[in-house]
Structure 1
Amino acid sequence: MKSVMDKEFKQYGRVLNLDTAQFVQTMLAKDPIKEGVVYEPSDADLEKLPLYQQMQDEVFGGMEVEFGFCSGYNEKLNAVEYHRSSEIDIAATDLVLMLGRQQDIDYGNNTYETKNVELFFVPQGTAVELYATTLHYAPCRENGAEFRCGVVLPKGTNLPLKVKPADNSGENQLLFAANKWLIGHSESGVDKDGGFIGLIGENTQL
């Protein structure tokens, strides 16, 4: 496993110099997740923080954003997704990100080989930008502990599609939600929700 502080992370994103202390305190005060993984695109507590305004004004250059979180228990890759924009992840606990490159997707059949995935440790309080071409999914944490991660994206991302493409071919097969393209593993169960199964190889586990 590598760290987001290592040079190998530079092809996937960068570490941001942000004061996250108040964010971490807010996230750790939330009730524990009982099981599985929970994702909330927008959270009222987080969007009251000064960090939310800083994200809009500085990090996203004046764009409207949503400040939510992903929390729970996860030790597997299960799927990869990407957006047409960067994503900011902020570690409220130590966590691990499984990352890949959009450039390695075989768009001939919409597949991606899991052997290309790299694991990166993110220390508590660290904020990272994941570039638009970086494949990612739910964070992980060792020893079965709960992870807590802030997620900042352009407003509306990950919400249900208002209009689905009439042509369900090519990359359109991967369009899972607003500004979200996804490729799942056969073990993930995302196909039950309309997700495309195209990960080749083992379902990478921490």
Structure 2
Amino acid sequence: MEIISVKEKEFKEYGKVIEGLDVAQLLQKMQKTPLPDDVIYEPSDASLEALEVCEVLRRSVYGGLPVQIGYCNGHNEKLNGLEYHRSSEINIAVTDMILLLGKQQDIESDDTYDTAKVKAFFVPAGTVIEVYATTLHYAPCGVDKKGFRCVVVLPKGTNYPIEQPHLLKEDKLLAASNKWLLAHEEAKIAGAFNGLKGENISIGNL
């Protein structure tokens, strides 16, 4: 599998690079966040949301919607799962990182997805990207086995526990508020629907 830069045209099907956003204070503040041996995700961090850039993200990037600014940090080199939202997600790479991405349109009628369709994208440190709502994604991977830090911006209320409804077939994928998840059986994600078929991709093998 080729690792493609998000600055190449191939990324345009999955998202876009956002230019002109001053994230220097955000990158500096992120240096104080944890970097565990596994992966940690915090949907909302008060110290990040207090920065001026949060208001810019709310008013400009999200068109006035309430947003939350959190982070996903740690060490990871496997796909393990793919999720999607009903809204775009903004990722700000604090370190170099790799995203393994797919398309919601390629999910089969039985709610399975062939991991052979996944593509790997390199996101340089300091880069701000929009990941489209229809783009399948999950935790970033570090580069050369190094840890990663990534700012995650989403509409307020995303990724919090909810009572799962039982109205639509898609509901079995609903893992949290505004989060639909397909897991790989090797990842053993408790309560998740194991919809990923094929290899549990590892960037260590790329």
TM-score tier (shorter): over 0.9
Residue in 2 aligned with 1:82? 84
Q: Following TM superposition, by how much is the alpha carbon of 1:24 offset from its aligned partner in structure 2, in angstroms?
A: 1.0
- 2:41 aligned to 39, 42, 47, which one? 39
Residue in 1 aligned with 2:174? 175
Partners in 1 of 2:143 and 2:124 — Cα distance? 13
Partners in 1 of 2:51 and 2:143 — Cα distance? 29
Kindly provide the CA deviation profile for residues 145-177 of structure 1, in whole angstroms up to 9, marking residues without a partner as x.
11000000000000001x32133x521110110
Residue in 2 aligned with 1:20? 23
Structure 1, unmatched stretches of 5+, are none
Q: Identity of aligned pairs, percent?
A: 54
Taking structure 2 as the reference length, the TM-score comes to 0.94
Q: Following TM superposition, by how much is the alpha carbon of 1:33 offset from its aligned partner in structure 2, in angstroms?
A: 2.3
Structure 2 counterparts to residues 133-152 of structure 1, below 5 A: 133-152=134-153
Partners in 1 of 2:35 and 2:149 — Cα distance? 9
Taking structure 1 as the reference length, the TM-score comes to 0.94
Residue in 2 aligned with 1:124? 125
Kindly provide the CA deviation profile for residues 5-30 of structure 1, in whole angstroms up to 9, marking residues without a partner as x.
00000000000011121111111133
Question: In the alignment, is the contact (CA less than 8 A) between 1:91 and 1:126 conserved in 2?
Answer: yes
Paired residue type of 2:27 = V
Runs of 4+ in 1 over 3 A off after TM superposition: none
Residue in 2 aligned with 1:54? 56
Partners in 1 of 2:36 and 2:48 — Cα distance? 21
Q: Following TM superposition, by how much is the alpha carbon of 1:205 offset from its aligned partner in structure 2, in angstroms?
A: 0.7
Partners in 2 of 1:34 and 1:53 — Cα distance? 29
Partners in 2 of 1:137 and 1:41 — Cα distance? 14
Question: In the alignment, is the contact (CA less than 8 A) between 2:96 and 2:143 conserved in 1?
Answer: no
Give the aligned length. Answer: 200
